[in-house]
Each structure stands twice: as structure tokens, then as C-alpha cells.
Amino acid sequence: MNSLHDASADFANHVILPSDCAEVPSIQDALEDQFRKHHYGEREIFCIKLALEEALVNAIKHGNQMDRNKKVHISYQVLPGRFDIQITDEGDGFDPGDVPDPTAVENLERPCGRGLMLMRHYMTEVFYSPRGNSVRLSKVVSSNSV
């Protein structure tokens, strides 16, 4: 599936970040504290933080084109067995199907598409809005790590 509805109302936690990559570690650190409170394992924390970094940097760089007048809207929830986050930029959006496969031989030297691949690999679910300016990432945490 490559679509989602506006799920921001589904989540109690909302953060708005400026389009500045220096802001990314602050949200990662705040979420890591919550993951630890819910006893997420080190592997899950690593996976989520990596996917989160890719999604946020994509929103800032590609979505908002580093325009400091544009914001990145984040809605999330951290539960004992599940993490959900929706990241929405103020850009024009994109079609994830148009991004080249980074594992194809002709693309091995190109950087594009690697972040999307990492998000799909490390998260349980990845859904994009029809416009392509919002992504919802979900991670179901295995019962032996909680």
C-alpha cells in the first residue's frame, strides 16, 4: 500500500520543526527517551531512529527544499508494542514509485532512493499520502524485546 489518510488526529503528540537538519537529533533524542520508557530493545531503537532520520531529512531537503519558512509537521504515538509517526512537509510532494531502485546495477553509484529503501526495510509499515508530501511510518516491536 502506498497511501494514507490524514492520521495526525489519531495521535496525541504533535511537533512542528523548522526546515533545518540540525533539528533532527532533538526529535530523535526525545523519542528515544520514550522508547526506553516502553522497554524497546536496542535493535528496535536503532531501526526507528535511522528510518526517522531518513524521513525527516527527506522532508526538509526534498520536500521543503531547505526553505526555513516552511515547517515539518510531526504527529506520533509511542506505545508498549508499537510506534507510529506521520511526517508531513509543506512541499509539492512526490511519487515514491518514480524513485529509482537503488539496488539496480545502473543506480549503485547514485545516492537517490536509499533513504526510502532503509525506511521500508527497518519499519513494519510505510505509507505515503496521495500527494506524496506525507509519510506514515509504523514499527511493531517484537514481544521478546519489549
Domain boundaries along the sequence of the chain: 8-140
Q: Determine the pLDDT at residue 3.
A: 42
Contact at 8 Å (CB) between 95 and 60?
no
Q: Determine the pLDDT at residue 8.
A: 57
Q: Determine the pLDDT at residue 144.
A: 55
Distance separating alpha carbons of residues 99 and 69, to the nearest angstrom: 26
How many C-beta atoms lie closer than 10 Å to residue 119's C-beta?
A: 21
Residue whose C-alpha cell reads 500527494 in the numeric block: 131
Distance separating alpha carbons of residues 88 and 33, to the nearest angstrom: 23
Query: In 37-111, which ranges are E strands?
Result: 71-79, 82-88
Q: What is the mean pLDDT of each run of 10 residues along the chain (146 residues)?
A: 51 94 95 96 96 97 96 97 97 88 74 85 96 97 64
Fold of 8-140: Heat Shock Protein 90 (3.30.565)
Per DSSP, 68 falls in state T
Distance separating alpha carbons of residues 1 and 138, to the nearest angstrom: 13
